[in-house]
Amino acid sequence: MSRFKILLIDDDEISLMILENALECEGHEIITTSDSMVATELFEQHRPDIVILDVFMPNKDGLEVIKEIRAISTEVFIIAISATEHYLRTAENFGASRGILKENMPDDIVDAIKVL
């Protein structure tokens, strides 16, 4: 199994903790933030293989973060998470590689990463 460096961005601390624990159990290196304002800076500092981010966050939404990260790298795999399908499709239009409903995480996220 490949091990990846993953940046998790979500203002919901519980979702962040659940995802962090699930992905660490799979052997991945995890960097987390609940502050979308520092997300792009963390991306530049750590150069993760995968970014997982919530679409709706205060101050700067996930769509803006996706655009900023895509301006830096077209190679990184970005997984957008949201409670609604509509916003996942919008995130994919902004450059997300994949969208996953929050109700299906962490299992769908772990499975999507295994496919990589």
> What is d(CA 41, CA 111) in angstroms, rounded to the nearest whole number?
27
pLDDT digits (tens, 9 = 90+) for 45-77: 999 999 999 999 999 999 999 999 999 999 999
Q: pLDDT, tens digit, for every residue of 5-36?
A: 999 999 999 999 999 999 999 999 999 999 99
Angle between helices 13-25 and 107-115 (to 10 degrees): 40
Structure tokens at 65: 């973060």
Kindly give, in sequence order, each residue whose CB lies less than 8 Å from that of residue 1, ignoring residues fewer than 6 positions away. Answer: 26, 27, 114
pLDDT at position 1? 59
Question: In which band, very low, low, confident or very high, does the pLDDT at 116 lie, cut at 50, 70 and 90?
Answer: confident
Number of domains in the chain: 1
For residue 48, whether the previous peptide bond is cis, meaning omega lies within 30 degrees of 0, is no
pLDDT for position 86: 93
Residue 49: CATH number of its domain: 3.40.50.2300
pLDDT digits (tens, 9 = 90+) for 96-111: 999 999 999 999 999 9
Domain range for 16 is: 5-115
Residue 49 is predicted with a pLDDT of 98
What pLDDT was estimated at residue 15? 92
